Amino acid sequence: MLADLPWNVIALQLFFGLALGCIYVLLASGLSIIYGLLDVVNFAHGTFAMLGAYAVFAAVSLSGSFFVGIVSAIVIVGLIGALTEFLLLKPLYGKDPLLPLLLTFGLSVAIPDAMKIVFGLIGKPVNFPNALTGATLLGPMILPNYRLFIIFFTLFIMISLWLFLKKSDLGMIIRASTRDSLMVQVLGVNVSRIWTIGFAMGIGLAALAGAISVPMMSATPDMGVDMTMVAFVVTVVGGLGSLGGAIVGGLFIGLVVAITSFIAGEYASVSMYVCMAVILLVRPRGLFGEWGRE
Amino acid sequence: MANDSEPTVVRYSDPTPKPTVVFGALVFLVFLPLIVSTPLATEILIWTIFGLGFNLLLGYTGVLSFGHAAYFGLGAYSAGLAFRYWNAGLWTGIGLGILAPMLLACFIGVLAIRRRGVYFAMISLAFGQMLFFLALSPLKEITRGEDGLTHIPVMSIFSVSLNKPLPFYCFVLIITAVMLFVTWRILQSPFGKLLQAFRENEERARACGFNTTLVKFFSLVISSFYAGLAGALDTIFLGYVPLSTLFWLTSGTIVMMTILGGRGTLLGPLVGAGVFLFLQNTISLLTPRWELFVGAIFVAIILLFPAGIVGTIQEKFATYRIARQKT
């Protein structure tokens, strides 16, 4: 089926898959950071991405600038994340490890309904920013500018994140706390605050993923569940708690979804779960997972 | 890792549920249709059966499945398809509705039960969504997609038609009583004691020479038996199979009910299902946004009373008894 098509059509689908994969990478890396640092699987991850989408909508209608929208989405939703961790999750540490997970699940049930009350049931569209409409010609291929922007922007974010974690003092403390938080605490660091910061960072990444996907698929209250699902599948495929796994897994799943929705549209939503089942069969710890953490 | 230090596990165990309490609950259930409407009472019983199985897995074994809608929905669809296309009898349909989810549980169990808790929760949720999307679009020809499976013939037992509320309530009540007894027997059996031992300390149980993976696997399969049965009964009750039986919120609902009622207590699922459905029905009279309130109540329960209604009452009762013994 694929062989009959001109190669540039296939290449364009791969390009779409790459852009989609970039959004998945942002989602899954946020989930991974939170899990690595706090041992909490955030069931409300997609819900926070949904909040990011609405934050962009609100900020764009107020200020008119898409980039102000993106920044305010990260900041506002990141702060909501920090508050959530501080008020709701902190009391649960050291108790049954399933409780934080159940709590975030409760949030993912309640928050979309709150958004329905505030913004209504109908999706809120955001226009493509003026600077990013149109397309770039690359040989015989026409590449939409907005998707090019997503790819380069994600690249920029991931490199900044990597530099931050590798080079900065705070990043070093975060990596150390991921390894052994008790030891870091013994060395005199306020680990509790590091957890709040880490949680806010992960939520900020989720909000960013929601924010940049809005112009392609308007913000709806129920978009969160699908995004949580994507984050989970990518994390299982890539390996839990591994940033490299989130990147490779995200791009891989993005490509798979784009290709299946092109050749067999009705299987598009199923394909990523099939991928996950296959990975679980042949490599249970995920592509980049460490033994013992699964 | 936040939970690196030894977690102080609160014990929710309910070692010997008193027969008087269980019989009392059953007598109460006989009169339930006088308190709430018969359809609501039936719904409570169906979710109770579902919850009894789910509690076996979450409350007694300590395994959190977030994809139990897959077993419930598969049971509902298998029974519905058998009734509609094969003109299957009542018991054949229910039997198929139980068998199919058990096979699915075997498959998911083999793939994922080895994984540690949170990982299993994620994987089970993802498989549940997979089934939902399969029924939604690729299998639309058979499942009728978003419309749900309609035109299911009316079932009858001993020539009593089950489409009238009260006879069907009695039918479900008998099954609920049987399942309550079966659950009670399972918990008294060596197998049941093993489940509880794993929840308390899996490492130690393994060190004692028990195959923890195998027992968790069986716990999952048994739990899917209950879910399938509940799903099949739901099909007969509604007369059609809505796609929402496979939706993630169905998995979430059974989690919330079990936590609300008290996980690891025999009567927790019954109390949880009753309170949850009563709240849901009452709130949705006032506002269509019942999920907001139910979600918020659930968050509050997790923060304030993680042992749930029955669990908290038991704890209070135990502290009261200890206090009285001292004086």
Q: For B181-236, write each residue's pLDDT tens digit.
A: 888 888 888 888 888 887 777 778 778 878 778 888 888 999 999 999 999 999 98
Residue A90: both structure tokens together = 């902190």
For residue B7, the chain A residues in CB contact (below 8 A) are 94-97
Spatial CB neighbours of B63, under 8 Å, sequence gap ≥ 6: B57, B113, B117, B120, B216, B219, B220
Cα dihedral: B234, B238, B240, B245 (round 10): -50
pLDDT number for residue B72 = 93
d(CA B149, CA A39) in angstroms, rounded, equals 41
- Residue B11 within a domain: no
Does pLDDT of A78 surpass 50?
yes
pLDDT digits (tens, 9 = 90+) for B19-60: 787 888 888 888 888 788 888 888 899 999 999 999 988 888
Produce one character per residue of B229-265: b if its CB has 16 or more CB atoms within 10 Å, e if not: bbbbbbbbbbbbbbbebbbbebbbbbbbbbbbbbbbb
d(CA A103, CA A42) in angstroms, rounded, equals 9
For the ranges A125-139, A234-248, B213-227, B307-321, the lowest mean pLDDT is seen at A125-139
- Residue B9 within a domain: no
Q: Which domain holds residue B192?
A: 35-326
Does pLDDT of B127 surpass 60?
yes
The count of other CB atoms within 10 Å of the CB of residue A162 is 14
Instruction: Kindly provide the ipTM of the predicted complex, given to two decimals.
Output: 0.82
For residue A114, what is the nearest residue in chain B, using CA coordinates?
B292
Does pLDDT of A85 surpass 80?
yes
pLDDT number for residue A1 = 55
Tell whether domain A2-127+160-282 is in CATH 1.20.1070.
no
C-alpha distance from residue B262 to each of B13, B44, B124, B227 (Å):
10, 16, 22, 18
pLDDT number for residue A208 = 92
- Residue B21 within a domain: no
- Residue B12 within a domain: no
pLDDT number for residue B54 = 93
Q: How confident is residue A179, by pLDDT bands cut at 50, 70 and 90?
A: confident
Which sequence spans correspond to the domains of chain A? 2-127+160-282
CB-based contact B302 A233, cutoff 8 Å: no
d(CA A131, CA A81) in angstroms, rounded, equals 31
CB-based contact B248 A225, cutoff 8 Å: yes
Task: Give the percent of chain B with pLDDT over 90.
Answer: 16
- Residue B250 within a domain: yes
C-alpha distance from residue A30 to each of A135, A198, B300 (Å):
30, 9, 26
For residue B253, what is the nearest residue in chain A, using CA coordinates?
A109
Mean pLDDT across A76-95? 88
Nearest to B302 among A103, A276, A281 (CB): A103
Does pLDDT of B5 surpass 70?
no
Cα dihedral: A90, A91, A96, A102 (round 10): -70
Does pLDDT of A61 surpass 50?
yes
CB-based contact B252 A235, cutoff 8 Å: no
pLDDT number for residue A127 = 75
- Residue B15 within a domain: no
For the ranges A251-255, B46-50, B164-168, the lowest mean pLDDT is seen at B164-168
**CATH (domain of B105):** 1.10.3470
CB-based contact A106 B302, cutoff 8 Å: yes
Does pLDDT of B2 surpass 60?
no
The count of other CB atoms within 10 Å of the CB of residue A170 is 13
Tally of structural domains, chain B:
1
Mutate to test the interface with B, among A99, A104, A229 (most CBs of B within 10 A): A229
Q: How confident is residue B16, by pLDDT bands cut at 50, 70 and 90?
A: low
* B272 or A288, greater pLDDT: B272
pLDDT digits (tens, 9 = 90+) for A182-220: 888 888 888 888 889 989 999 999 999 998 988 888 788
Nearest to A236 among B122, B252, B259 (CB): B122
Shortest alpha-carbon distance between residue B25 and chain A (Å): 28
pLDDT digits (tens, 9 = 90+) for A107-119: 998 898 888 888 8
Q: How confident is residue A2, by pLDDT bands cut at 50, 70 and 90?
A: low
The mean of the pLDDT values for chain A is: 84
